[in-house]
Structure 1
Amino acid sequence: MTNFKMKRNPRKLKWTKAYRKNAGKEMVVDSTLQFAARRNVPVRYDRELFAKTLKAMERISEIRSRRERIFYKKRMAGKRARAVAAARKLVAENEHLLPRLRGSEKRRLAELAAERGVDVEELEAEELAVLRGSKKTKAFGGEVRRLRVRTDGGVEEITESVGGLMGEDVDDDDEDDEDDEMDTD
């Protein structure tokens, strides 16, 4: 009621039936929809007529569901292509925000691509995917798994211990501690 008092046009409100009909998102020209309308005409009971009506109702529901599927497919045709185009446009507009490769990495990728006989862009995308996937992931309570890209182009997985039980710190580098003690003396 408030929308009516505010003089809003129902054809411009996306949640209304009028909008869906006007925008071509609702099946309005389908003849099977006429059967759903209620008719208040009393008919004398007839068993054969009742059986025919039930069969007709089932058939109509089959036809309606098929037409709705076709209508949906036609309406959604090209949606994936439009979404990909919109994503590519967004990347092209905001390309300055994407991470850049350093010169040494570019040279290494070019050499690696020449060895493998692959395009440099494909290799760059592969390397970036590996680097993005190299974020820290917890293996157990006191371990962290990391992926490191080696200079020869390979990828190795390293498991490092972070801390001991009950939040105690575990020092893996005893040699560094001895060096620190010597520096303070």
Structure 2
Amino acid sequence: MRVDSCFFCGRPAWPSKGITFNRNDGKSFRFCRSKCHKNFKMKRNPRKLKWTKAYRKNAGKEMVVDSTLQFAARRNVPVRYNRELIQKTLKAMERISEIRARRERVFYKKRMAGKRARELASARKLVANNEHLLPRLRGTEKRRLAELAAEQGLDVAELERQELENLRTSKKSKAFGAEVKRLRVRTDGGVEEISERVGGYMDEDQDDDDDDDDDGMDTD
């Protein structure tokens, strides 16, 4: 059974699957799916599309030079049937597949080496360039943390760092604006006290409560 490769993306095109396009000059093109056939008719370059084998090879993301890849080359050489030769060929195919898979894993590890360090460096650079967008502690919060550190003998910088981490992970924001307490009359006649933030971000839970109250109000 011959498994051809897709002319556009390089994936295997199995028998009775995909599309075969025969041009007027007699050349035939095998496609694994209609997506490749449409891109071929639109005269797109497979080396410029990231989901093709040609792009991955040009970008250095696939093995190009390896002895195991030579066995996959197409050979139009007629050979007389020989049972022993077929058995040896099948065993060799299994062994070659194992060797190729192991070499591909090694190639991937070498290619991805240092990626974590590069991502951390890029993230640190992004934070350094946009430091003015990060939440900041107000003067009252800094004084409170300084008094707490003096009482318990802790490090002020460490407490401020923990407080900033809590601000980034929690839904409530205490970084900007001032709190204003107001009275709200509920639909059932009760009165509740709420805290709103002026000149900054409001609490997301509070916004959700406002939406719920507006949906539940009687409009008679």
TM-score, normalised via structure 1 length: 0.60
Q: Is the 8 A contact 1:109 1:120 kept in 2?
A: yes
State yes or no: 1:129 paired with 2:165.
Answer: yes
Q: How many residues align?
A: 142
Name the structure 1 match of 2:74: 38
Deviation at 1:115, TM superposition (A): 5.5
Name the structure 2 match of 1:103: 139
Q: Give the stretch that moved more between structures: 64-73 or 106-115.
A: 106-115
Superposed structure 1 runs of 4+ greater than 6 Å apart: none
Percent of aligned positions with the same letter in both sequences? 77
Q: Is the 8 A contact 2:56 2:62 kept in 1?
A: yes
Distance 1:117 1:53, change over 3 A: farther
Deviation at 1:106, TM superposition (A): 1.8
Q: Is the 8 A contact 1:14 1:20 kept in 2?
A: no
CA offsets per residue over residues 88-127 of structure 1, 9 Å max, x none? 1011011111121122322332344456665444433322
Which residues in structure 2 correspond to 1:33-72 (within 5 Å)? 33-72=69-108
Determine which of 94, 114, 125 is the counterpart of 1:78: 114
Name the structure 1 match of 2:63: 27
Deviation at 1:30, TM superposition (A): 1.1
Looking at both structures, which has the greater relative contact order when contacts are Cα pairs under 8 Å and sequence separation is at least 6?
A: 2
CA offsets per residue over residues 49-81 of structure 1, 9 Å max, x none? 212111111111111111111111111111111
| Amino acid in the other structure paired with 1:95 | E
Q: Is the 8 A contact 2:135 2:168 kept in 1?
A: no
Distance 1:74 1:120, change over 3 A: farther
Q: Give the stretch that moved more between structures: 113-122 or 67-76.
A: 113-122
Which protein has the bigger helix share? 1
State yes or no: 1:92 paired with 2:128.
Answer: yes
What residue ranges of structure 2 are gaps of 5+ in the alignment? 1-41, 175-185, 194-220
Distance 1:169 1:51, change over 3 A: farther
Q: Secondary structure at the match of 1:81?
A: helix
TM-score, normalised via structure 2 length: 0.52
Distance 1:83 1:120, change over 3 A: farther
Deviation at 1:26, TM superposition (A): 2.4
